[in-house]
């Protein structure tokens, strides 16, 4: 137990004497009745982009998958382990969420890696290299554009990755069906770490727009 990070224990004590006090009854109810989140958020692991903070969410509101670059692999019923697909299945069929939000963000390290396909693998397993091949065709198109700056290429691929995840979500037959039946809405959003701005995707055009 000595190994447990002191900063996390300190944080836990703050939680218990602060936020938990307000939410005590809610936690109790959520434990007894089970969770009923309305929304699945697919977000990035980045330490600066926690969905609960950005959406000021209370316990029980958001079912959250977090992986590098908020990606959804395409539907592959091949009997392999698919962590994101498993969470998606659980959220849509088990919890009957009403919304799926893919949340991307600026300065994403995973997107940065996708734009540097010739970088040295971080380990011999090259898990990041393989994972970011989900964005390979889009990254190649972006990299072919010599007139865009490095920053513009990064932002463009961050937004493409969100649309890519949404397209892959729709490759799951149950997701596509639920959306067609009006039982499920799919949305995208992009968070600017530097300014705190949230940009919401317009479902028709795919453009990102600041709300209100």
Q: Does 182 bind a copy of itself (CB under 8 A)?
A: no
Q: Which of 22, 118, 181, 196 binds a copy of itself (CB under 8 A)?
A: 196
Task: Please say which residue, 95 or 117, places its beta carbon nearer to a copy of itself.
Answer: 95
SS3 for 78?
A: coil
- Which two structure tokens, joined as six digits, stand for 77? 């019923």
SS3 for 191?
A: strand
Q: Does 117 bind a copy of itself (CB under 8 A)?
A: no
| H-state helical runs in 81-149 | 83-89, 109-114, 127-131, 136-143
> Residue length, the chain?
212
Identify residues 26-85 at the interface with a copy of itself (CB under 8 A): 27-28, 30-32, 34-35, 37-39, 45-48, 50, 52-57, 59-68, 71, 73, 75, 77, 79-85
Q: Is 187 annotated as a binding residue?
A: no
Q: Does 180 bind a copy of itself (CB under 8 A)?
A: no
- Paired with 39 in beta bridges are 62, 99
Q: Does 207 bind a copy of itself (CB under 8 A)?
A: yes
Task: Please say which residue, 132 or 169, places its beta carbon nearer to a copy of itself.
Answer: 132
CB of 39 to a copy of itself, least distance (A): 6
State the Cα–Cα distance between residues 71 and 67, nearest whole angstrom: 7
Q: Is 105 annotated as a binding residue?
A: yes
State the Cα–Cα distance between residues 97 and 146, nearest whole angstrom: 42
Are 171 and 74 spatial neighbours (Cβ–Cβ below 8 Å)?
Answer: yes
- Which two structure tokens, joined as six digits, stand for 91? 């959220």
Q: Does 205 bind a copy of itself (CB under 8 A)?
A: yes
Are 210 and 199 spatial neighbours (Cβ–Cβ below 8 Å)?
Answer: yes
Q: Does 152 bind a copy of itself (CB under 8 A)?
A: yes
Q: Does 159 bind a copy of itself (CB under 8 A)?
A: yes
Q: Is 46 annotated as a binding residue?
A: yes
CB of 90 to a copy of itself, least distance (A): 5
Binding-site size, a copy of itself (CB under 8 A): 128
Q: Does 116 bind a copy of itself (CB under 8 A)?
A: no
- How many CB atoms sit inside 10 A of residue 172's CB? 20
CB of 170 to a copy of itself, least distance (A): 14
Q: Is 45 annotated as a binding residue?
A: no
Residue 106, Cβ density class (10 Å: 0-12 exposed, 13-18 middle, ≥19 buried): buried
Annotated binding-site members for Zn(2+): 44, 46, 105, 108
**Could you tell me which residues are annotated as the binding site?**
44, 46, 105, 108
């Amino acid at each position: 137990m000595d190994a447990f990070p002191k900063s996390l224990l300190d944080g836990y004590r703050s939680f218990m004497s602060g936020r938990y006090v307000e939410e005590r009854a809610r936690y109790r109810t959520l434990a007894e009745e089970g969770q009923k989140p309305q929304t699945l958020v697919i977000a990035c692991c980045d330490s600066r982009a926690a969905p609960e903070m950005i959406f000021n969410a209370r316990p029980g509101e958001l079912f959250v998958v977090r992986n590098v670059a908020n990606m959804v692999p395409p539907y592959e019923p091949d009997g392999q382990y698919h962590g994101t697909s498993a969470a998606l299945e659980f959220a849509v069929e088990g919890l009957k969420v009403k919304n799926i939000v893919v949340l991307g963000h600026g300065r994403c390290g995973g997107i940065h890696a996708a734009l540097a396909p010739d970088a040295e693998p971080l380990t011999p397993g090259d898990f990041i290299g393989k994972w970011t091949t989900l964005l390979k065709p889009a990254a190649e198109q972006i990299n072919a554009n010599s007139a865009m700056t490095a920053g513009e290429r990064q932002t463009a691929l961050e937004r493409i990755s969100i649309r890519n995840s949404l397209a892959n979500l729709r490759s799951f037959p149950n997701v596509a069906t639920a959306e067609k039946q009006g039982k499920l809405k799919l949305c995208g959003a992009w968070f600017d770490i530097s300014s705190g701005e949230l940009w919401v995707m317009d479902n028709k055009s795919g453009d990102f727009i600041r709300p209100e």
